[in-house]
Each structure stands twice: as C-alpha cells, then as structure tokens.
C-alpha cells in the first residue's frame, strides 16, 4: 500500500487530488487548517474503500508539520508521495501590502512546502524513494496586478522544486511542480457577490482558446499521471496546465 500526504485537502484542488489518488490505491493523509472539511475529505476517501487520516495542521509551523509526519508514519506506515497543495492568496497593490500579509502568504505557500519536503524526504528515503508534487501556479510566470506576494510565493515554489529535485534525486525522490491557471475553486470564487464570481469565471473561460475553465479534477488527473511510473523521467520541472490561457497576451485583462 502506498501512502500519500496531501496538504490543503479540505476542499477544491486538494480534495480532488486526495480522491483521485485514492482511486489509484493510495492511503491518504489529508491535512488542512479547516478541521471539519478535511474530516469530510477523509471520510470520502474511506467511502471509496481506502484508508484515510485527517489532520489539522498549519503547515507554516514546523512543530505541527513534524508531528504530522510522525503521526502518518505511526498510523499509516510511511510516506511515498507528498502533494504540497496548501495555499492562500492576498490581493492588494504592492505598496498597500503589509508585512503581515507577506509573512502569511509566504509562510503557507512557500515555507510550508519547504517544511513538508524537509520532514517527508527522509521517510521516503527509508522506503526507497518517492514523489513530491508542489502545486504552484501560472502566476509564477505570468501574473496580474495586485498579486505581488502570491506571485512571489508561487515563483519561489518553482525554484524550490528545481533545487529539491537536485538534492533529493540521489534518494530516488522525484520533485515536480504543477502550475494551473484559474481553477473553479473557493479561492477563485471569493468575490463579494455571486454575480462577480460568475463574471470572473467567464473571463477566464474567454481567455482560454478552447473556452475552458479548469476544474479541480483537471489538476488532480495531471497529478495522478505525474506520480505514476509513466512520468518517471520528470523531475525538477514545472508543468503548466492552463487551458491555453498563457498563449494569449490578453491575460492581464482577466480581473484579480
């Protein structure tokens, strides 16, 4: 039995990844700060016939991350796969962005991924290797106004992916990044009114040459392939999944 740890698994992309990996036979350790919702994710995994563990964890806190992996080993037996999906966003002009905003976004999106890699890799080494998938973003390469620290965190995650792949390859651990554009998740649907949310989704669809707004399952399916032996030659790379949005130089017209 292979064991996957998925952070930010309470909803959206993280939940979809957890459920998709369960279909591939993984036992799932789902973590998030949203206790009730991450428990729901774990229960959905169990209903599919797989083992699941729900953990309330703030990935920006090293002691919590360390305890998370200790519990996963104790209750499930080890770690073969880590998906660093936990992420937050802050929207503001760069001069209006506070140091507290910076610490919060970087702490979860980048430091959290680093801490999870640090504490999972030795466990994977003991099991002969593994795979780490960092959920970055198209914003690592082409971003929008008022997203300075979010873009910085996601670009940093791509750099971390490349460096970690070099450090961990000798332990037979692959490290890849997945970079989605706008995905129909609660993070994208965070506007004050439903009318504004629908307008945002429609503009992402219009930015896609195939008229597609990505769903969480699209990202989950890519992750499932990347962690399989079919993708064994991929490490230290960032894979963009954006329905063609980055091919169009009108991306800046998409609202934040």
Catalytic residue among 2, 26, 111, 154: 154
Q: Give a yes or no: residue 209 inside a domain.
A: no
What CATH number is associated with residue 104?
3.40.50.720
Catalytic residue among 150, 191, 205, 253: 150
pLDDT tens for 223-248 read 999 999 999 999 999 999 999 998 87
Q: Give a yes or no: residue 195 inside a domain.
A: no
**Is residue 106 very low, low, confident or very high in pLDDT (cuts 50, 70, 90)?**
very high
Q: Give a yes or no: residue 90 inside a domain.
A: yes
Q: Is the pLDDT of residue 190 over 90?
A: no
Residue-range definition of the domain harbouring residue 53: 3-184+215-242
Q: Give a yes or no: residue 118 inside a domain.
A: yes
> What pLDDT sits at residue 109?
98
pLDDT tens for 135-173 read 999 999 989 899 999 999 999 999 999 999 999 999 999
Is residue 150 among the annotated active site residues?
yes
> What pLDDT sits at residue 205?
87
The Cα 213–Cα 184 span in angstroms is 7
**Is residue 196 very low, low, confident or very high in pLDDT (cuts 50, 70, 90)?**
confident
> What pLDDT sits at residue 254?
56
Q: Give a yes or no: residue 135 inside a domain.
A: yes
For the chain, the average pLDDT equals 94
If one counts every other C-beta atom within 10 angstroms of the C-beta of residue 44, the result is 17
- Integer angstrom CA distances of residue 52 from 166, 206, 214: 31, 38, 27
> What pLDDT sits at residue 255?
54
- How many independent structural domains does the chain possess? 1
The Cα 256–Cα 248 span in angstroms is 17
Q: Give a yes or no: residue 201 inside a domain.
A: no
Q: Give a yes or no: residue 202 inside a domain.
A: no
Is residue 253 among the annotated active site residues?
no
> What pLDDT sits at residue 147?
95
**Is residue 249 very low, low, confident or very high in pLDDT (cuts 50, 70, 90)?**
low
Q: Give a yes or no: residue 255 inside a domain.
A: no
The Cα 125–Cα 79 span in angstroms is 9
């Amino acid at each position: 039995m292979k064991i996957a740890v998925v952070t930010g698994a309470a909803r959206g992309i993280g939940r979809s990844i957890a459920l998709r990996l369960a279909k591939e036979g993984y036992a799932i350790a789902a973590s998030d700060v949203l206790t009730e919702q991450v428990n729901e994710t774990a229960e959905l995994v169990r209903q599919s016939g797989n083992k699941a563990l729900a953990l309330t964890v703030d990935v920006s806190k090293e002691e919590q991350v360390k305890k998370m992996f200790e519990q996963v080993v104790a209750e499930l037996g080890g770690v073969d796969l880590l998906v660093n999906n936990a992420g937050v966003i802050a929207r503001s002009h760069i001069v209006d962005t506070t140091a507290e905003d910076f610490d919060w976004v970087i702490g979860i999106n980048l430091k959290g991924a680093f801490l999870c890699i640090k504490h999972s890799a030795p466990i994977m080494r003991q099991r002969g290797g593994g795979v780490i998938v960092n959920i970055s973003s198209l914003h690592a390469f082409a971003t929008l106004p008022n997203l300075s620290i979010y873009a910085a965190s996601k670009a940093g995650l791509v750099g971390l992916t490349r460096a970690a792949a070099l450090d961990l390859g000798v332990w037979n651990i692959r490290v890849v990044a997945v970079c989605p554009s706008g995905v129909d998740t609660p993070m994208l649907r965070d506007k004050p009114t439903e009318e504004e949310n629908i307008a945002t989704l429609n503009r992402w669809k219009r930015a896609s040459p195939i008229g597609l707004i990505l769903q969480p399952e699209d990202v989950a399916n890519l992750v499932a392939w990347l962690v399989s032996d079919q993708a064994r030659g991929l490490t230290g790379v960032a894979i963009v999944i954006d329905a063609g949005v980055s091919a169009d130089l009108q991306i800046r017209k998409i609202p934040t």
